């Protein structure tokens, strides 16, 4: 039933703005108040995505592990934010440390990977592994940058790391 409501809200949004998706995207930054208003009416996913079919594969974790996984995810985002802050401040050693400890191959204990991995489909496990390897690679490049001052490879590595988050989010959701 929620789906019908969301579709109805989405249709209303299209009528109200008198524009298609392109128009909405263009207006996005200007129509903050309007968007906020609509968000309170929707399901939380937002009216822009209402007509999109969710093709992500649902994955079921036991409740305790699910809660821990989502905590981990919020920590991932917090870490990514810190990395960007350190980038702006050119503090490459700090980037290396936090990328490796909080997201890299050294973060498995922190994120309880051994507990959640058995519940993941193979593709999700691989996406997780790719993200951890990408973070460790970022840590190595940041360590180099601390010596050479070469920032471009670090910027590229942050983009690559973020792409690993996006890839898994596009493919899986938790039930
Ligand atoms: C191996 C897969 C995978 C990777 C890699 C991954 N995520 Fe997630 N993330 C998920 C899943 C699954 C969810 C739950 C989404 C849902 O059910 O709608 C999620 C949810 C989240 C959430 C919401 C947490 C909450 O409390 O609801 C945030 C924030 C997040 N991820 C950030 C990140 C960031 C940042 C990265 C990369 C550094 C990342 N994730 C990498 C699978 C992944």
- The string of pLDDT tens digits covering residues 103-122 is 999 998 877 788 999 999 99
* Cα-based distances in Å from 85 to 106, 136, 142, 159, 164: 22, 18, 14, 14, 20
Q: By the 8 A CB rule, do 104 and 132 touch?
A: yes
CA of 172 to the centre of ligand 1 (A): 9
Mean of pLDDT values over 129-134: 97
The least confident of 17-26, 66-75, 80-89, 101-110 is 17-26
**What's the pLDDT score for residue 89?**
97
Distance CA 5, CA 17 (A): 18
pLDDT number for residue 46: 55
Residue 85: half-sphere exposure toward Cβ, Cα within 13 Å: 8
Predicted confidence at residue 45, as pLDDT, reads 54
How far apart CA 131 and CA 165 sit, in angstroms, is 7
Q: Which atom of ligand 1 has the smallest separation from the CA of 131? A: 5
Instruction: Calculate mean pLDDT across residues 115-135.
Output: 96
In this prediction, residue 113 carries a pLDDT of: 80
Handedness of CA 145, 110, 122, 44 (dihedral sign): negative
More confident residue, 16 or 175: 175
Predicted local confidence at residue 21, as pLDDT: 41
Where does ligand 1 bind, in terms of residues with CB under 6 Å?
Answer: 70, 73-74, 76-77, 80, 103, 124, 127-128, 131, 164-165, 168-169, 172-174
Residue with the smallest CA separation from ligand 1 atom 1 is 128
Q: Is the model's pLDDT at 68 over the cut of 70?
A: yes
């Amino acid at each position: 039933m929620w789906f019908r409501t969301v579709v109805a809200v989405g249709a209303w949004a299209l009528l109200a703005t008198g524009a298609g998706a392109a128009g909405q995207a263009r207006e996005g930054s200007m129509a903050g108040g309007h968007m906020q208003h609509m968000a309170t009416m929707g399901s939380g996913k937002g009216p822009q995505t209402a007509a999109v079919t969710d093709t992500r594969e649902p994955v079921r974790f036991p409740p305790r592990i699910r809660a821990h996984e989502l905590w981990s995810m919020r920590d991932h985002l917090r870490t990514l934010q810190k990395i960007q802050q350190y980038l702006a401040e050119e503090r490459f050693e700090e980037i290396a440390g936090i990328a490796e400890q909080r997201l890299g191959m050294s973060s498995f204990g922190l994120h309880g990977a051994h507990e959640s991995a058995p519940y993941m489909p193979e593709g999700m496990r691989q996406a997780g592994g790719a993200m951890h390897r990408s973070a460790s690679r970022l840590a190595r490049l940041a360590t180099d940058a601390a010596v050479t001052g070469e920032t471009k490879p670090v910027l590229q590595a942050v983009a690559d790391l973020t792409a690993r988050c996006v890839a898994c989010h596009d493919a899986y959701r938790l039930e």
